Amino acid sequence: MPRFYLDSPLAAGQTPDLPDNVVRHLNVLRLKPGADITLFNGNGKAYPARLTTLEKRRAAAEILGEDERSSESPLDITLVQSVSSGERMDFTLQKSVELGVNTIQPVISERCVVKLAGERADKRIARWQEIVISACEQSGRNTVPQVLPLLPFQTALQQMPSEKTKLLMSLNRAQTLNRITPAPEGLIFMVGPEGGWTEQEEQQAFAAGFQSVTLGKRVLRTETAALAAIAAMQTLWGDFTA
From first to last of the 242 residues of the chain, give the pLDDT tens digit. 899 999 999 999 999 999 999 999 999 999 999 999 999 999 999 999 999 999 999 999 999 999 999 999 999 999 999 998 878 999 999 999 999 999 999 999 998 877 777 888 889 999 999 999 999 999 999 999 999 999 999 999 999 988 999 999 988 888 899 899 999 999 999 999 888 899 999 999 999 999 999 888 888 888 899 999 999 999 999 987 76
**Burial class of 48 by CB neighbour count within 10 A (0 to 12, 13 to 18, 19+):** middle
Assign domain 77-241 to its CATH superfamily: SPOUT methyltransferase, trefoil knot domain (3.40.1280.10)
What pLDDT sits at residue 242? 60
What pLDDT sits at residue 203? 95
Look at residues 45, 43, 46, 49 and name the one whose alpha carbon lies nearest to residue 18: 49
Q: Which residues of 190-203 are buried (b: 16+ CB within 10 A; e: fewer)?
A: bbbbbebbeeebbe
**CATH 2.40.240.20 in the chain, residue ranges:** 3-63
What pLDDT sits at residue 30? 94
What pLDDT sits at residue 162? 87
Assign domain 3-63 to its CATH superfamily: Hypothetical PUA domain-like; domain 1 (2.40.240.20)
**CATH 3.40.1280.10 in the chain, residue ranges:** 77-241
Three-state SS annotation for the chain = CCEEECCCCCCCCCCCECCHHHHHHHHHHCCCCCCEEEEECCCCCEEEEEEEEECCCCEEEEECCCECCCCCCCCCEEEEEECCCCHHHHHHHHHHHHCCCCEEEEEECCCCCCCCCHHHHHHHHHHHHHHHHHHHHHHCCCCCCEECCCEEHHHHHHCCCCCCEEEEECCCCCEEHHHCCCECCEEEEEECCCCCCCHHHHHHHHHCCCEEEECCCCCCCHHHHHHHHHHHHHHHHCHHHC
